[in-house]
């Protein structure tokens, strides 16, 4: 009995040694798919994820200031490149885990047509978008308006949000009739699940490549490496695709 108990203690200790708690910084647009991926990853690997969701620009500042994140899932590709060059990311660990899609969205059924002509009609008061200096989806929104020749005409209607989640809240609450949000926020089972929207053609803005990076604090963490590998696997990729991202 004593021998069996000792063996059980050894096995339990070994399992705990190989089980990490991973602190990750995740772009706000990727919150919903990441929660699903985290649940599957924890079940499959035994590691635990502690995720913070927010703007990539703010995460950059926090990481540079010493925030204890081990993995960054950014909303762009530029921020991980900068962190890698500045020594806060592990060289060679960066890869694109998703390509985001932009959508012009309203909570009102039928308000946004399938070609985005509502922008040209100009029969609305407020157009929400995330801060284009901090958020790639905001920059993509500006590029879209430029491509359509509507930027100067509509600039006075902008309601600028801190991040993509706040942009969604502005539109969902009715404080803005429509706004540029991430398709992942409103896309379920192959369609826009509520309200109305125009999925912006990729040719109207630069690709929203979202890169993952192993940060220097996670260099010795087996859990962090396992998570990055998991993101490249079929199960995670299936979840990512279900939210409207391209791979």
Convert the pLDDT of each residue in 163-197 to its tens digit.
899 999 999 999 999 999 999 999 987 888 889 99
- The CATH T-level fold of domain 102-199 is D-Maltodextrin-Binding Protein; domain 2 (3.40.190)
Q: Which residues pair with 96 in a beta bridge?
A: 211
Region 27-55: mean pLDDT is: 95
Report whether pLDDT(47) > 70. yes
Burial profile 18-27: b = 16 or more Cβ within 10 angstroms, e = fewer:
eebebbbbbb
Concatenate the DSSP letters of all residues of 140-184 into one string.
Answer: HHHHHHHHHT-HHHHGGGEEEESSHHHHHHHHHTTSSSEEEEEGG
Q: Let me know if 160 is exposed, middle or buried by CB neighbors in 10 A (0-12, 13-18, 19+).
A: middle
119-158 pLDDT per residue, tens: 999 889 999 999 998 888 999 999 999 999 999 999 999 9
Average pLDDT of the residues of the chain = 91
Report whether pLDDT(75) > 70. yes
Three-state secondary structure call for residue 213: strand
- Domain ranges for the chain: 2-99+208-242, 102-199
Answer whether 19's CB lies under 8 Å from 46's CB. Answer: yes
Instruction: State the pLDDT at residue 18.
Output: 66
Architecture of domain 2-99+208-242: 3-Layer(aba) Sandwich (3.40)
Instruction: State the pLDDT at residue 20.
Output: 85
Query: Do the domains at 2-99+208-242 and 102-199 have one common CATH topology?
Result: yes
216-244 pLDDT per residue, tens: 999 999 999 999 999 999 999 999 999 99
Q: What percent of the chain has pLDDT over 90?
A: 81
């Amino acid at each position: 009995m004593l021998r069996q108990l000792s063996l059980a203690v050894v096995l339990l200790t070994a399992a705990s040694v190989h089980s990490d708690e991973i602190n990750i910084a995740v772009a706000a647009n990727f919150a919903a798919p990441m929660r699903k991926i985290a649940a599957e990853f924890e079940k499959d690997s035994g590691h635990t994820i502690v995720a913070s969701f927010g703007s990539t620009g703010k995460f950059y500042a926090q990481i540079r200031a010493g925030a204890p994140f081990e993995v960054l899932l950014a909303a762009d590709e530029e921020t991980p490149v900068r962190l890698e060059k500045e020594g806060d990311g592990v060289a060679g660990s960066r890869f694109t885990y998703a390509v985001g899609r932009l959508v012009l969205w309203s909570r009102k059924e039928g308000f946004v047509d399938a070609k985005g002509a509502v922008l040209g009609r100009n029969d609305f008061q407020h157009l929400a978008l995330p801060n284009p200096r901090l958020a790639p989806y905001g920059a993509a929104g500006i590029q879209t308006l430029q491509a359509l020749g509507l930027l100067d005409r509509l600039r006075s209607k902008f309601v600028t949000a801190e991040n993509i989640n706040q942009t969604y809240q502005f539109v969902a609450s009715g404080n803005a009739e429509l706004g540029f949000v991430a398709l992942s926020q409103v896309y379920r089972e192959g369609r826009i699940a509520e309200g109305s929207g125009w999925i912006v053609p990729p040719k109207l803005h630069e690709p929203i490549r979202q890169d993952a990076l192993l940060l220097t604090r996670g260099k010795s963490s087996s859990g962090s490496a396992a998570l990055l590998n998991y993101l490249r696997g079929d199960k995670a990729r299936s979840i990512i695709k279900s939210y409207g991202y391209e791979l």
